[in-house]
Amino acid sequence: MKIKALLILLLIISACSKPDKYDLSQIKSLNDLSAVIDSMKNDNVEMDMTSVVKEITGKGMHYRGVPVKSMMVYDNAIRIYTDSAAYSGKKLLEQLETENGFGNYKEGYNNQPEFTWENDVKYSLLTVNFVDGKNLAKMGEKDFSTLYITFPKKYNVPLANIYKEVKKYEEEPNYLLRISHYGCDYEIKIDGIVIEKFYEKEYNKDSFSLNHFLLTKGSHKLQINIKPAHQKTRFKEAASFEAKIIDNSIDSIVSQKNIRRGHLYEKKSRKHSFDMTFNANIPYNNNGWFTGENLRKEPKLKEKVIHLYEKLGKAFLDKDEALISSLYYDMTLETKQSYYHNDFKSSSETCEELLKFKDKMYKYTVSKDFEIKYSDDGKLIYTTPAENDKQGMLTITGKGFSESFNYFMYQPKNTNELKIIRK
Amino acid sequence: MFIKADILLLHCEIIKKMKKSLSIFTITLLSFFTSEAQINYDSLIHNLEDVTSRTKFKVYFKGLKYTKEYTYEDHFTDERFLRFHGVIVDDVVFDYSNWSNDRLSSLSLKLYDEVDDYNILLKKLTELYGDPVLKEEETTKRYVWSSSNTEIIMKIELIDGEFAKFNEFTIDF
Amino acid sequence: MCIMILSIISCTKKNKETNDEFKELLAEIDNKSIEEIKKEINSNVKTFEKFVSFFDDPSFKDEIKKIAKEDESYGSLYKIDTSKINDAMNQFADIKFQQQFESNKTKLKFIFPGRFNDPVSLGEGVSEYYTPQKVYYSNGKTETETEGFKKRVSSDFFYDWGNAIPIDSMKIDYKIKYITEIDSVTLSKNNPKVNYGGGEIRIEEIKDNYIYITKSSSIKEILKYQAMNDEGKILDGSSSMSGSFSPKRQKKVIRGLLSAFKTLQTKLNEDKFENASQVKDYIIKKFGKLDYFTRSSLYHKELFYRGNVASIKLFFEKESKKIETNFIARNISNYGDLIPMAKAKRDTTMFINKNGEEQFKVAGNYVAVNSRFYTDDKFYYHLNVAQKEMTKLLAFNITGMDKMVAVQQEESGLIALFDLENKQLSPYKYNEIYPYKNTILASMADKICRLDDLGNAKIIKDVLNIDDEIEGMIMVQSEKGKYGFLNSSGEIAVPLKYERTNSFTEGLAFVSKSDRKFGFIDKTGKEIIPFIYYSHYKSNGFENGVAIVQTKKGEILKLNKKGEILN
């Protein structure tokens, strides 16, 4: 009975009110946009597409029911203005939050509230303009909004679609190593892999993300080697060192070590080492270099390293998007998985950055003289050029453009070639 | 023109079932009407008087998108979800300046410069914590309320002896 | 036609009593075919219509309304400001210009010493005039500019300067005219009419924030309008409009003109005229009668203020003075034998010689690094003159000098020198190249050397660090930390023996030896003012012949260039 009454009610209402025809929230690509504009042209909706500023001012547009006053059209974006009546400004914000969930918020130019949402279809930026309202908690009837929607470029390579492969979990631990020290130089190893070398550090506080080196759930060992700062032979009296491993997703300390001041000086040692073992409760499983060959036994390692960097340099030079994508795929997927980044924008930006290099460069050089550092189990290697002035194993150069690359590599079992696996 | 959406908002399951058996015409209308806001904004309001030194920012604002600016400070800036004793708060900073302790060291509130809000706060805080320690100068007034585990500092600026704007509002733990 | 439209659009146009515009209209018709006339009228009527629609837009003009006292905004008294004249007359020590070549024409933009490359801005009542006198071309020829020369000296935009011929430098006359005495008349509600300068000025309407006055055209130009409220406070202006018609008639007159043009347009499109001279006769007959061309000789001005107008003061120039100087402006580029010129919508670059004659062209649009090396967004190039083509170069960076280039292959790599034929002159061994006005220096390992045009390097003994060139002297520092100076040819002019130095000012530098006693030396290193001072005071050298120094006891002394104490 209730349902029948509702239907009749709706039919009556539908007779009195006619919903606006063009729902701009349904536009999911530049093709959709063209189709909507064509349909509006057929219906003689008022618009000016001929001048530099392309604007549609006719009636009939709405965004999920919120009336739209006008829309401006750009190369790969649109800007929508609500009218300033009947709480349109407030309603558009609420519709966008219903459509996309809560967005990122900040106060933009002129203290106007700005909300952003990004997904694999469009990036939306909503700006609220107060007319008779005071703030978001006290919005006025006349407040209106501007919604700027960009349709990002889509790349056709697997690298661009990595976000689809990244899994999300209930609990997403994010392990961070936080160091606070005075008068020390240090080296950090995680599970036998050097992730931070000794060098003259300016900051007394530092933090390092660990997740991308943690392949599975379980026990992991962090080893820290400390030396006196500035290559001195003895620690200063005030030298101290504190390390904490934190799960940043819940702000809790997992393991910590504190060497008080005076302790290092009293020991009169030239160096000091300690371990921190902790339990990483990570939900994902990255293969990483787990099934890698022991590269200490590899006789042609040097040639293989050069071969891989040459392959990458040539891929940039030949503008071979497919090859670039495949060389970076495993590393990118595993790294994004370890930080649970399953959003389109993150994948898209990484992909775009890597693919843009090919357009800026016109030559590459690979360092032939380098040092190889092995992980404790020999499966993972990292190489650094021997010449001081070279910043990376592979350097790509263009007009006023230069970029250098150094990667961790491993050789998958039963294969003959090295693979890039971490940065 | 539109009947209030509340009347028409039925549970989603019922509507989904209905949708299957109706004509396209009415379906369009139904989805049009049911596309009214479904988020219950009121239930997301956070009353900052409930924050203690043990409150974890991420947990407290779970479900909302917050802005984090510096390593030892967390900011939340959406005034729709912030209140302090009923007064609207523009933004709040959770300060962990001594991160070794992993405790909140203070909360800084940015308030809107409304004389009504000032009066409400003055009345409420005096009610809860007793008379404040007042330091008055030519163009400013500074109130401090102390309790066993917190200290609330409210500083205002005056024009012609009357409230003009808030200068500072901090809750120290 | 364009003259017609532009003259209407400029709202602050001066009054013209004669039918000059009518004559100009007729002159436009002469020497044009009927087809050309038709085309012009058709396109210009459209623009004209759009402009006329402005008059219908209510936001075009300010509203006449009463302004509340608290919303009034006040201005300041009108005063002639001659304070910047001295700075303006002395700003011409080093004026340069940039020359652009495109489609066989050239454009110039001038570079002044101001922060935004602009000249000293002058105050109220002061105006300046630049008149180019003589142009020295790169091919050695000179040209004296005739009277009425219309080329503009501007730092804002590139302006037309005739045919594409490279210019080395030019002599420009500079004149400043400043008002020395002003005259004024005041009008108000109680005093709405004033006779002045052989004519009459009258308030036609004065209401709230609005005032409308008329002036006989025999009276000279009004310098400034200053409105006051009933308390005598000077009000801030909001907007103004002026013209040869009263506000009421303006709309009607312009519409009249528009409809006359439209009628002409229809007749032209219907081919009612056989030839251009028939069009001319029609125009003389119909347009000659129009109000627009037979206007009265009054000047009408409407003004809106941010306050309620009670009276208005009008200022006139009574007496003025002129001062003059002249200067040489130089081209920022040193041209070689081939100069690039953009052609065909910038898809092609044509190389011209110093006479402006076309030599050969290459595809693409380039910016010169020097006379033989070029660049665009993506690459560097060498111009191969024999093959008449651009050779792509894959370097990280190429810096150009007159006779050679410094090439860096990688960002972290060393620099080598190449000549204009792209032949390598030196190995890749330099860390950095420093081109100065008359010399080129380079750093290599721990040394500084001087380069000649063939890329030969001569190490400058003892010098480790170098600094900017000021007044032709380059400050240098030795390994031991002592300072000295090189002259502009890169030779040691002041030996490196000073503990502390300052740059040269007006030919002298304030330096000290190891005992921390300062004195002044000249550009040959000769000690001119004895080393007895402790420090400088506020400025580090001479300004207008005076330097201010401090003794150890804290006394502040003013010295002249001979070292004599002035205060």
**Best residue of A251, A257, A260 to probe chain B, by most B CBs closer than 10 Å:** A251
Cβ contact (<8 Å) for A207 and B58?
A: no
Domain assignment present for residue A319? The answer is yes
- Counting CB pairs under 8 A, whether chains A and B reach 3 or more, is yes
Strand-pair partners of C209? none
Domain assignment present for residue A158? The answer is no
Question: Cα–Cα distance between A112 and A132 in angstroms, integer?
Answer: 14
Q: Please tell me which residue of chain A has the smallest CA distance to B103.
A: A251
Residue B82: the pLDDT is 94
Q: Which residues of B touch A255 (CB under 8 A)?
A: none
CA distance C399 to chain A (A): 11
Cβ contact (<8 Å) for C396 and A399?
A: yes
- Tens of each residue's pLDDT in chain A, 423 residues: 555 555 555 444 444 444 578 999 999 988 899 999 999 988 888 888 877 778 998 888 999 999 999 999 998 899 999 988 889 999 999 999 999 999 888 888 888 899 999 888 899 999 999 988 889 999 999 999 999 999 988 888 999 999 999 999 999 999 999 998 888 889 999 999 998 877 666 567 888 999 999 999 999 999 999 988 888 888 888 888 999 999 988 778 899 999 988 888 888 878 899 999 999 999 999 999 999 999 999 999 999 999 999 999 999 999 999 999 999 999 999 999 999 998 888 888 899 889 989 989 999 999 999 999 999 999 999 999 987 778 899 999 999 999 999 999 999 999 999 999 999
Q: Which residues of C touch A398 (CB under 8 A)?
A: 378, 396
Q: Same domain, yes or no, for A219 and A138?
A: no
Cβ contact (<8 Å) for C409 and A401?
A: no
Domain assignment present for residue A19? The answer is yes
Nearest to A402 among C375, C379, C410 (CB): C410
Q: Same domain, yes or no, for A145 and A191?
A: no
- Counting CB pairs under 8 A, whether chains C and A reach 3 or more, is yes
Q: Same domain, yes or no, for A145 and A18?
A: yes
ipTM: 0.73
Cβ contact (<8 Å) for C380 and A399?
A: yes
CA distance A108 to chain B (A): 12
Q: Which residues of A touch B112 (CB under 8 A)?
A: 134-135
CA distance A134 to chain B (A): 9
Greatest Cα pair distance, chain B, in angstroms, is: 73
Cα C304–C310–C315 angle (5° rounding)? 70
Question: Cα–Cα distance between A356 and A359 in angstroms, integer?
Answer: 5
Count of alpha carbons within 13 angstroms of residue B118, beta-carbon side: 19
Residue C137: the pLDDT is 93
Residue A212: the pLDDT is 95
Residue C149: the pLDDT is 54
Question: Cα–Cα distance between A38 and A45 in angstroms, integer?
Answer: 10
Residue C51: the pLDDT is 72
Domain assignment present for residue A55? The answer is yes
Q: Same domain, yes or no, for A128 and A58?
A: yes
Residue pair A95/A87 in contact (Cβ under 8 Å)? The answer is no
Question: Cα–Cα distance between C497 and C531 in angstroms, integer?
Answer: 14
Domain assignment present for residue A362? The answer is yes
Residue pair A47/A40 in contact (Cβ under 8 Å)? The answer is yes
Residue B115: the pLDDT is 92
Cβ contact (<8 Å) for A65 and B36?
A: yes
Residue pair C173/C337 in contact (Cβ under 8 Å)? The answer is no
Nearest to A65 among B35, B65, B80 (CB): B35
B73 touches chain A (CB under 8 A): no
Q: Which residues of A touch B59 (CB under 8 A)?
A: 250
Please give the distance of CA A5 from its chain centroid, rounded to a whole number: 51
Q: Same domain, yes or no, for A275 and A303?
A: no
Residue C173: φ, ψ to 5°: -85, 140
The CATH number given to whatever domain includes residue A346 is 3.10.450
Q: Same domain, yes or no, for A307 and A415?
A: yes
Residue A281: the pLDDT is 93
Cβ contact (<8 Å) for A13 and B29?
A: yes
**Best residue of C373, C409, C411, C429 to probe chain A, by most A CBs closer than 10 Å:** C411
| 3-state SS assignment for residue A192 | coil
Q: Same domain, yes or no, for A19 and A145?
A: yes
Radius of gyration (C-alpha) of chain A in whole angstroms: 28
Domain assignment present for residue A316? The answer is yes
Q: How many domains does chain A have?
A: 3
- How does pLDDT run across C223-252, given as a tens digit for each residue? 999 999 999 899 998 888 888 888 777 778
Q: Which residues of A touch C394 (CB under 8 A)?
A: 362-363, 397
Q: Please tell me which residue of chain C has the smallest CA distance to A403.
A: C411
Q: Which chains touch B (3 or more CB pairs under 8 A)?
A: A
Cβ contact (<8 Å) for C409 and A397?
A: yes
| 3-state SS assignment for residue C496 | strand
Question: Cα–Cα distance between A412 and A421 in angstroms, integer?
Answer: 10
- How does pLDDT run across C146-193, given as a tens digit for each residue? 665 568 888 999 998 989 999 999 999 999 999 999 999 999 999 999
Q: Please tell me which residue of chain A has the smallest CA distance to B38.
A: A98
What single string gives the DSSP state of each residue in C509-523?
Answer: EEEE-TT--EEEE-T
**Best residue of B22, B24, B29, B40 to probe chain A, by most A CBs closer than 10 Å:** B29
Domain assignment present for residue A2? The answer is no
Residues 353-412 of A with CB under 8 A from C: 362-363, 365, 389-391, 395, 397-402
Q: Same domain, yes or no, for A18 and A105?
A: yes
Question: Cα–Cα distance between C138 and A223 in angstroms, integer?
Answer: 72
Domain assignment present for residue A167? The answer is no
Chain A to chain C, count of Cβ pairs less than 8 Å apart?
A: 34
Q: Same domain, yes or no, for A30 and A140?
A: yes
Q: Which residues of B touch A10 (CB under 8 A)?
A: 8, 26, 29-30, 33
CA distance A209 to chain C (A): 29
Count of alpha carbons within 13 angstroms of residue C362, beta-carbon side: 21
Q: Please tell me which residue of chain A has the smallest CA distance to B87.
A: A137
CA distance A106 to chain B (A): 7
Q: Same domain, yes or no, for A304 and A261?
A: no
User: Which structural domain, as residue segments, surrounds residue A201?
Assistant: 175-280
The answer to whether residue B4 scores a pLDDT higher than 50 is no
A229, A251, A280 - which closes a domain: A280
Residue B153: φ, ψ to 5°: -115, 125
Cβ contact (<8 Å) for C378 and A399?
A: yes
Q: Which two tokens stand for residue C350?
A: 């044509």
A115, A150, A185 - which closes a domain: A150
A280, A307, A333 - which closes a domain: A280
Query: Which ranges of chain C have pLDDT less than 50?
Result: 1-18
Q: Please tell me which residue of chain A has the smallest CA distance to C381.
A: A399
How are the residues of chain B apportioned to helix, strand and coil, as percentages rounded to the nearest 5?
A: 30, 35, 35
Q: Which residues of B touch A65 (CB under 8 A)?
A: 32, 35-36
Cβ contact (<8 Å) for C396 and A402?
A: yes
Distances (CA, A) of C529 to A331, C547, C563: 70, 11, 5
The residue behind tokens 């994902």 is A284
Question: Cα–Cα distance between C190 and A20 in angstroms, integer?
Answer: 61
Q: Which two tokens stand for residue A406?
A: 């150094």
Nearest to B35 among A7, A64, A138 (CB): A64
Question: Cα–Cα distance between C369 and C343 in angstroms, integer?
Answer: 19
3-class DSSP string for A1-52: CHHHHHHHHHHHHHHHCCCCCEEHHHCCCHHHHHHHHHHHHHCCCCEECCCC
Q: Same domain, yes or no, for A142 and A256?
A: no
Q: Same domain, yes or no, for A145 and A188?
A: no
Look at the pTM and tell me if it is higher than 0.90. no
